[in-house]
Amino acid sequence: MRFNIIIPKGLKKEYNKELQAYRAYMQLNDLPNAWRHLERSHILGQSYPIEHTYTHYLMLRLGFINRDFKEVMGQLLRLMVGGFKSFMDHVPLGNTGGSNVGPLQPMPVKADLDKILKKYR
């Protein structure tokens, strides 16, 4: 069994790029594009507890902003178990992290993200 604690530096850089895009779209009040970049950050960071948990925290905040009760409840659930599952390296590859998908459902990974993930696996 592999334990994940610290995200590789190069992958952290890519993860942070997605968070920067999220923040830029939030400043423009473009919530759909902000959400899209949170999903991308989730895919990149989901194998590492700190990044995984932080992305779910941001998703929770956006759920509150959108007054989306289903999203808020889904993110609260994910915040309770997501970091632990990352630590144990038991995450569904490609899962975008929103409450619109099952928390254990693997999903196809977009080609650009797949290339990044393969580089750091």
Residue 2, pLDDT > 70, answer no
DSSP-assigned letter for residue 108: P
* pTM (predicted TM-score): 0.93
Q: What is the pLDDT of residues 20-53, one digit of tens each?
A: 999 999 999 999 999 999 999 999 999 999 999 9
User: How do the domains of the chain map onto residue ranges?
Assistant: 9-120
d(CA 56, CA 54) in angstroms, rounded, equals 5
pLDDT score of 38: 98
Kindly report, residue by residue over 91-114, the tens digit of the pLDDT.
888 999 999 998 889 999 999 999
- Residues ≥6 apart with Cβ < 8 Å to 104: 92, 95
Tokens of residue 16, six digits: 């942070």
Tokens of 26: 């939030």
Q: How far apart are CA 66 and CA 69, in angstroms?
A: 9
Integer-rounded Cα Rg, in Å, for the chain is: 13
